Amino acid sequence: MLAGEYNNLLVLFSLLVAILASYTGLDMAGRIATAHGRAGYWWLAGGACAMGTGIWSMHFVGMLAFSLPIPLGYDLSLTALSLLIAIASSAFALWLVGQNELPVSRLFGGAVLMGAGVSAMHYTGMAAMRMTPGIQYVPALFALSIVIAILASAAALWIAFRLRRHSPLVRPIRAGAAVVMGVAIVAMHYTGMAAAEFPIGSVCGAVQNGVSTGWMALVIIVVTLAILAIALVISVFDLRLETRTATLAMSLAEANQELTYLALHDALTKLPNRVLLEDRLDRAAQDADREQGRFAVMFMDLDGFKAINDAYGHHVGDSLLVDVAERIRANVRTRDTIARVGGDEFVLLADVGEPADAATLAGKVLSAIREPFHMGGRELRVSTSIGIAMYPGDGLSPNDLLINADAAMYHAKALGRDSYCFFEASMNANVHEQLQLVQDLRAAVERHELVLQYQPKFAAPVGPVIGVEALVRWAHPTRGMIAPDEFIPLAEKTGLIVPIGEWVLDEACRQMSVWRNAGREDWTMAVNLSALQFRHVSLIQTVRDTLERHALAPHCLLLEVTESTAMHDVDASLRILEELHDLGVRISIDDFGTGYSSLLYLKRLPASELKIDRGFIRELARDTEDAAIVSAIVALGQTLNLIIVAEGVETLAQQEFLTRLGCDSLQGFLLGRPMSADHLMETISRDEAFPALAQLEPLRLEPAQPV
Ligand code: C2E
Ligand code: CA
Ligand code: CA
């Protein structure tokens, strides 16, 4: 037998290549398992090529490391065939571990097939030497080499299958496994080589190729290493990309979650909003039906919130709402739902069985909110009005429950606020009545059902008349005369106030021009503007057009704007008032003393008149505090050069006291009620004809003191 020799360096290289090829194979198995769609096939094809080339090159370098005392060569087509076998076996192995499961039977079958493949590659490679006489194989070692190939394949498949998913330690474990596999492959190869015996006188039939084995080995090693390295680099980059995609997908999911949260919650208080509330109400109703239970829906509206918002700004208003929400939350159980359904409106869905329990809970919430709030060094006080509807008695659908609780809340407000009220069927009638009223009001202007009455204003103390205030009434076809307090708020809520206001202005100006032509040139006509009218874009144009239409001098018109309207969004108010002022129209600040005017703004307002709210005048007799307020307002007005008007003068004592304080004009039932234009003219000409009538009760003017 010829004695073979090994080049140790090349043997070492063959081991290195085997390990690297194993690592690449394991890595590819992981990529195939996690790739989606067609990418999986590409990884399979690329991985099979890289791994197959690796294993084959290990084998071929091992062959090149071997030398006999005779010249050796390798047949090209058989060598290529052995490479193809290596790639095919690798493809099969990678496909196998890419499957979702790997039962023992499949593992075993796969190992046999793959072991056979690797052996076939090896012995085909040996055959490429085309030895004559043929190589003799020692049967035991030959069998052992095949057993090793199968066992190594089984281990490789099993390890690759276990390692295919990403886990924190996957890289070091994979490296260790690659070493084990590499050694196994090398062991198979050299066992196979040991099985081969070359009889003396053997000739290598493929020797004419005559390539220097050393150079060939180097080229193969470099090319193989390059292929394996490229495969690994691509794999690592792709993994990064995949990780990034996964991260992106995760943040997208988070963003979606956030959006859902926002859609169901109020941004300010983080409480559920109306949408979520209705869903909870639906569920509560289902639960209650199943367990024959009951629950309460409480509609809460803060009293006095608007005033705080107007006075201190939205910033303070917002923090107050957050604190209020917190106090409500602190007083209910976690399974109850509190939702914010409007500016200062909250709804509590409370799991209580008895109305008495609902009442207790409502009382608790009322007293919690009644406590002062401390905000930026200020002490703020608000209260709540609560309307309670019980399921199932007061409504079956979330909508009905909310409407009824809302109606009950309005009753609580009407009862004097800071209280709760249970829903009663009669309250609903009110809602329908209001709806009917809105419909009627819509048609009222066209049907000429609105009428104006005029209340005279007198120079203090007894006249003469210096002007009138136009006050609207609604002559309803079936309900009779309706007072403005009953329909102006409704008109304001529905926007109907705009056409109504235009009609009032037009009619008042028409009447005024009639009076002017009749010689009342020094009168002014006062017209009230509601908040919505005041802010309406077409206000200035409407006023200008109306004055023109009736050929009326602007200074004859006095527009009354309430203090709270003027002080809400002061800058915008100032702009509007200035434009009106520029038109030549005069401005009166109505209901003065009820809002939160800052002196600074008051000074900047281009107003010519302050009307002290009639609430102060009414209380004058009983309350010395009100007397102090009135005298302060008068002093303030005088400093600011404003005409001071007292409205709601009903008694001689009030007339006397207000005059003494320095009010310039008086208005009230004592001196003249609101009446029709004709009636007013009749009364005035009678008084003028018999001036003595007005003197019947002469005023005794004495030093002013609280009355
Ligand atoms: P206001 O601007 O404060 O009008 C004065 C109200 O006091 C009138 O009530 C008047 O009748 C009433 N009044 C006058 N003297 C006395 C008195 O001595 N004692 C008492 N207790 N009350 C007196 P009215 O006509 O019912 O109007 C109520 C409110 O409706 C008005 O308050 C005003 O804010 C609004 N309003 C009336 N007409 C119009 C209008 O044409 N447009 C707008 N936007 N609001 C109007
Ligand atoms: Ca007024
Ligand atoms: Ca007033």
Residue carrying the six token digits 């709210």 = 613
- Give pLDDT, residue 692: 47
The string of pLDDT tens digits covering residues 25-35 is 878 877 777 77
Higher pLDDT, 507 or 6: 507
Residues, CB within 5 angstroms of ligand 2 (ion): 528, 560, 590
Task: Name the residue among 128, 236, 125 with its Cα closest to residue 174.
Answer: 236
- Give pLDDT, residue 594: 73
Of the candidate ranges 104-108, 121-125, 206-210, 582-586, the one whose mean pLDDT is the lowest: 206-210
Residues, CB within 5 angstroms of ligand 3 (ion): 590-591
- Give pLDDT, residue 703: 41
**What is the atom index within ligand 1 of the atom nearest the CA of 533?**
44
Q: Do domains 274-423 and 454-695 have the same CATH topology?
A: no
Q: What's the CA angle centered on 493, arms 489 and 497, to 5 degrees?
A: 70
> With a 6 A CB cut-off, is 545 part of the ligand 1 pocket?
no
Q: What is the mean pLDDT of residues 54-60?
A: 87
> With a 6 A CB cut-off, is 690 part of the ligand 1 pocket?
no
> With a 6 A CB cut-off, is 471 part of the ligand 1 pocket?
yes
> With a 6 A CB cut-off, is 650 part of the ligand 1 pocket?
yes
Q: Which CATH number fits domain 454-695: 2.40.50.140, 3.90.1300.10, 3.20.20.450, 3.40.80.10?
A: 3.20.20.450
Is pLDDT above 80 for 430? Answer: no
Q: What is the mean pLDDT of residues 62-70?
A: 85
Higher pLDDT, 183 or 454: 454
Is pLDDT above 90 for 534? Answer: yes
Q: Whose CA is nearest to atom 38 of ligand 1?
A: 471
- b/e 546-579 (16+ beta carbons within 10 angstroms → b): bbeebebebebbbbbbbbbbbbbebeebeebbee
Is pLDDT above 70 for 596? Answer: no
Percent of the chain with pLDDT over 70: 94
Of the candidate ranges 9-23, 222-236, 423-437, the one whose mean pLDDT is the lowest: 423-437
Identify the band that residue 549 occupies on the pLDDT scale cut at 50, 70 and 90. Answer: very high
Neighbours of 624 (CB within 10 A): 13
Of the candidate ranges 369-373, 548-552, 561-565, 691-695, the one whose mean pLDDT is the lowest: 691-695
Higher pLDDT, 413 or 645: 645
> With a 6 A CB cut-off, is 648 part of the ligand 1 pocket?
yes
Distance, CA 611 to ligand 3 centroid (Å)? 7
Q: Under 8 Å CB-to-CB from 317, ≥6 apart: which residues?
A: 305, 308, 309
Is pLDDT above 70 for 442? Answer: yes
Q: Whose CA is nearest to atom 22 of ligand 1?
A: 648
- Give pLDDT, residue 701: 39
Of the candidate ranges 167-181, 350-364, 410-424, the one whose mean pLDDT is the lowest: 167-181
Helices 624-639 and 652-661, interaxial angle, to 10°? 40
Q: What is the mean pLDDT of residues 495-506?
A: 93
Q: State both tokens at 600.
A: 């600074």
Identify the band that residue 697 occupies on the pLDDT scale cut at 50, 70 and 90. Answer: very low
Percent of the chain with pLDDT over 90: 39
Distance CA 216, CA 57 (A): 11
Is pLDDT above 80 for 37? Answer: no
Q: Whose CA is nearest to atom 2 of ligand 1?
A: 528
Distance, CA 624 to ligand 2 centroid (Å)? 25
Higher pLDDT, 357 or 696: 357
Q: What is the mean pLDDT of residues 253-259?
A: 83
Kindly report the CATH class assigned to 274-423.
Answer: alpha beta
Is pLDDT above 90 for 561? Answer: yes
> With a 6 A CB cut-off, is 30 part of the ligand 1 pocket?
no
Identify the band that residue 623 occupies on the pLDDT scale cut at 50, 70 and 90. Answer: low
Distance CA 428, CA 408 (A): 9
- Give pLDDT, residue 209: 59
Higher pLDDT, 333 or 311: 333
Q: What is the mean pLDDT of residues 165-183?
A: 78
Mutate which of 451, 490, 502, 528 for ligand 1 pocket (most atoms within 8 A of beta carbon): 528
Is pLDDT above 50 for 283? Answer: yes
> With a 6 A CB cut-off, is 492 part of the ligand 1 pocket?
no
- Give pLDDT, residue 597: 64
- Give pLDDT, residue 167: 67
Q: Where are the domains of the chain?
A: 5-235, 274-423, 454-695
**What is the atom index within ligand 1 of the atom nearest the CA of 527?**
41
Q: What is the mean pLDDT of residues 162-175?
A: 74
Distance, CA 483 to ligand 1 centroid (Å)? 9
Q: What is the mean pLDDT of the chain?
A: 86
